[in-house]
Amino acid sequence: PLVSMTDMLNKAKSEGYAVGQFNVNNLEFTQAILQAAKEENSPVILGVSEGAARYMGGFKTIVKLVESLMEEYEVEVPVAIHLDHGSSLESCARAIRAGFTSVMIDGSHHPLEENIELTKRVVQMAHAVGVSVEAELGRIGGQEDDLIVDDAEAAYAIPEECKELVEATGVDCFAPALGSVHGPYKGEPNLGFDHMKTIDGLVGIPLVLHGGTGIPTNDIKKAIEFGHAKINVNTESQISSAKAVRETLAAKPDEYDPRKYLGPARDAIKATVAGKMQEFGSSNKA
């Protein structure tokens, strides 16, 4: 069924695993992620950035697509459709109206008080219709679609501010910046585990790790131990799908049927996503 993130994340946190948010970019991504969730018997969050929604034909198109595919594939695991890095109250409202079951309001570029005010308003609107909300504090580095944060801006979130935001807003899960980066890492990721532990102790609700691509398994395990119940992955699926397209077209330079090169891309995404579900511990937790 289509559900909000609340129950799946609370269960994950209490049982010590994380649910993956896998971003959709097109039809094949959506198919692959739902197929992987079904085969792994795993709960799943479909992440939709505003840029991806524009590309795919709008929020409504994505909701209808997901609903149809779930019916066609007989997907019975819990699935959330989540607005990733929502940039405004209006954008969250449009996603909710289109049938999204969850939204992120990313007020992290605002001063703390403004971030709190904005997030509070989104929570009021979303909770009234059973939609879950994720908030962010501190800047997560790197680039994802329209969102670019340079290294100097990216900093660890301040624990006391995290506590204040979570308590004042009533969000369902929370993404503090802790050194993770969108897109490929330049060198090894440097996650702030001391900060993470402190923030987890102060806020209590499920934490969200953005920039899940390229984080070593050991760090993933530690992040889950220190309160993370949601891990976002996009770039890694994009890399594996692009590699499959390149290999297919290199082996058959005369190929022109999209099904012949996007089919292998879809299989590659599915394998990447299934591997993450196993790594995060969400397989067989539906």
State the residues that interact with ligand G3H by CB under 6 A.
23, 47, 84-85, 144, 182-183, 210-213, 232-236
Q: Which residues pair with 20 in a beta bridge?
A: 231
Residue appearing with tokens 């102060």 = 202
Q: Half-sphere exposure of 152 toward its Cβ, with a 13 Å CA cutoff?
A: 0
Shortest CB 124 distance to ligand G3H, Å: 24
Shortest CB 140 distance to ligand G3H, Å: 7
User: Among all residues, which ones are annotated catalytic?
Assistant: 84
Q: From ligand G3H, Zn ion, none, which one binds at residue 172 (CB under 5 to 8 Å depending on kind)?
A: none
Q: For residue 33, which of 22, 42, 41 has the smallest C-alpha distance?
A: 22
Q: Starting at the earlier edge strand, list the strands of the sheet with 147-149.
A: 147-149, 141-144, 181-182
**CA quadruple 56, 62, 68, 70: dihedral sign:** positive
Q: From Zn ion, ligand G3H, none, which one binds at residue 23 (CB under 5 to 8 Å depending on kind)?
A: ligand G3H
- Residue number of the CB atom closest to Zn ion: 210
Q: For residue 236, which of 218, 220, 212, 217 has the smallest C-alpha distance?
A: 212
Q: From Zn ion, ligand G3H, none, which one binds at residue 213 (CB under 5 to 8 Å depending on kind)?
A: ligand G3H
The answer to whether the beta carbons of residues 82 and 71 sit under 8 Å apart is no
Nearer to Zn ion, 35 or 234 (CB): 234
Q: Report d(CA 273, CA 276) in Å as an integer.
A: 5
Mark the segment that binds Zn ion (CB under 5 A) among 127-135, 153-161, 187-195, 206-214: 206-214
Shortest CB 76 distance to ligand G3H, Å: 26
Nearer to ligand G3H, 221 or 249 (CB): 221
Nearer to Zn ion, 195 or 210 (CB): 210
Shortest CB 260 distance to ligand G3H, Å: 27
Number of other residues whose CB lies within 10 A of the CB of residue 221: 15
Mark the segment that binds Zn ion (CB under 5 A) among 158-166, 205-213, 218-226, 243-251: 205-213
Q: Of 139, 210, 228, 276, which lies in the binding site for Zn ion, with binding defined by CB under 5 A? A: 210
Mark the segment that binds Zn ion (CB under 5 A) among 56-64, 184-192, 203-211, 219-227: 203-211
Show contacts with Zn ion in window 2-41 (CB under 5 A): none
Mark the segment that binds Zn ion (CB under 5 A) among 73-81, 149-157, 207-215, 239-247: 207-215
Shortest CB 51 distance to ligand G3H, Å: 11
Contacts of 210 (CB under 8 A, 6+ apart): 136, 140, 175, 180, 182, 232
Q: Report d(CA 40, CA 87) in Å as an integer.
A: 32
Q: From ligand G3H, Zn ion, none, which one binds at residue 47 (CB under 5 to 8 Å depending on kind)?
A: ligand G3H
Contacts of 195 (CB under 8 A, 6+ apart): 156, 157, 159, 176, 178
The residues that touch Zn ion, with contacts defined as CB under 5 A, are 210
